[in-house]
Amino acid sequence: MNYKGFYINLTSEEIRREYLIKHLKENKLYNNYERFEALVPEDHTKLYGLKTKGEYGLWLSIIRLLENISKEHYQGFIHIIEDDFRFNNTLINKFNNLFTFQKEADEDIIFIDYLIDLPLLNLISLIIKQDGDLSKEINNKFSASYFYKGSTSSFLIRQSSAGFLSNLLKKTLNNLRIENRLEPIDMVLRSLFQKGILKGSICIPPLGCPDWDMDAFTSIQTCRLNSIKKSMRTHLLFRCAASGVKDLNYCAKEISKLFKSNLNIKDLNNLEDFYKFVENHRKYLNTNW
């Protein structure tokens, strides 16, 4: 298992840190990870078009972390996670297998978790159905230029790519700040993939997702309309279901609670059933933001 990990965490977020450490220890992964202290913009800092200090702080934190990684003597893969990321503990072997098959690949970034919309949820359900079992040692990768929708909660890079990535993101940040049209870092990454400036992929199925309970108290996505918050929480349940971190029926019931609707929830036996449940009720749900 040739990799080193870093988790991004604010000094003030002791509870998030404690829960992540507990999760990593339970999965015998703790020794692979180091804490990276997240950067916090000053209260008076201009946001250059962003909505929250958290969004700006994530930009600064990821760039600084990549700069630090580029100076490391360690040669191999780096796994970067936010402090609310959780593995599906039954898929740790699939995660380890990624490194075996990545030696000859040339991607800049591989996303282990990512935003999932309805078409992507359908694709993931079909792939899992074709493979026969979520836990099988099969790692399907699809191009980030088309399938990456956003999120930096969990991704892999090579140590040798860190300098290139930090310089590219720093240059992009400066250019967008000058124009006062800075966007969240994951949206900029999405654009860089689509333009062919970066090469990356997403791992299907995702091997984890943000913690459902912790996400309710995120410092990144604030100042949103309530309807948008509901939509974002719905999409997180897509990720919980697709990664297997949460039971499918649990995810469906939580969606029903979010929209205060008595949705018809039959027993969901697989992700295809979950997708059909969402598709059948999409007129009741706000799945766009």
Class of domain 3-222: alpha beta
Model pLDDT, residue 97: 82
Q: How far is CA 231 from CA 28, 36, 38, 221, 279, in A?
A: 34, 30, 27, 12, 14
* Residues in the chain, overall count: 289
Contact criterion met (CB below 8 Å) for 86 and 120 = no
Partner residues linked to 202 by β-bridges: 111, 142
* CB-CB contact of 84 with 137 (8 Å): no
Instruction: Give pLDDT tens digits for 89-125.
Output: 988 888 888 877 666 677 899 999 999 999 999 999 9
User: Which residues lie closer than 8 Å to 44 by C-beta, 6 or more apart?
Assistant: none
Given pLDDT bands bounded at 50, 70 and 90, which one contains residue 139? low
pLDDT digits (tens, 9 = 90+) for 7-44: 999 999 999 999 999 999 999 999 999 999 999 888 77
Cα torsion for 95, 98, 100, 103, to the nearest 10°?
A: -150
Q: What does the pLDDT average to over 155-179?
A: 95
Give the tens place of pLDDT for each residue, 215-273: 776 655 544 566 678 888 899 999 999 999 999 999 999 998 888 777 777 788 999 99
Looking at residue 225, what is its pLDDT?
Answer: 60
Q: What is the pLDDT of residues 34-82, one digit of tens each?
A: 999 999 888 777 888 898 889 999 999 999 999 999 998 888 899 999 9
Query: Can you list the positions of beta strands (E) in the chain?
Result: 3-9, 33-37, 77-82, 85-87, 109-111, 140-143, 154-158, 200-204, 208-210
pLDDT of 171 higher than 80: yes
Instruction: List the one residue out of 165, 159, 154, 245 whose CA is nearest residue 202.
Output: 154
Distance CA(105)–CA(29), nearest Å, equals 24
- 207 versus 136: the higher-pLDDT residue is 207
pTM (two decimals): 0.92
Phi, psi of 7 (to 5 degrees): -115, 135
19 CB burial (10 A radius; 0-12, 13-18, 19+): middle
User: What tens digit of pLDDT does each residue of 172-220 get?
Assistant: 999 999 999 999 999 999 999 999 999 999 999 999 999 999 877 665 5
Query: Are 187 and 221 within 8 A, CB to CB?
Result: no
Residues 6 or more apart whose Cβ sits within 8 Å of residue 19: 211, 214
Judged against a pLDDT cut of 50, whether residue 282 lies above it is answered with yes
pLDDT of 132 higher than 70: no
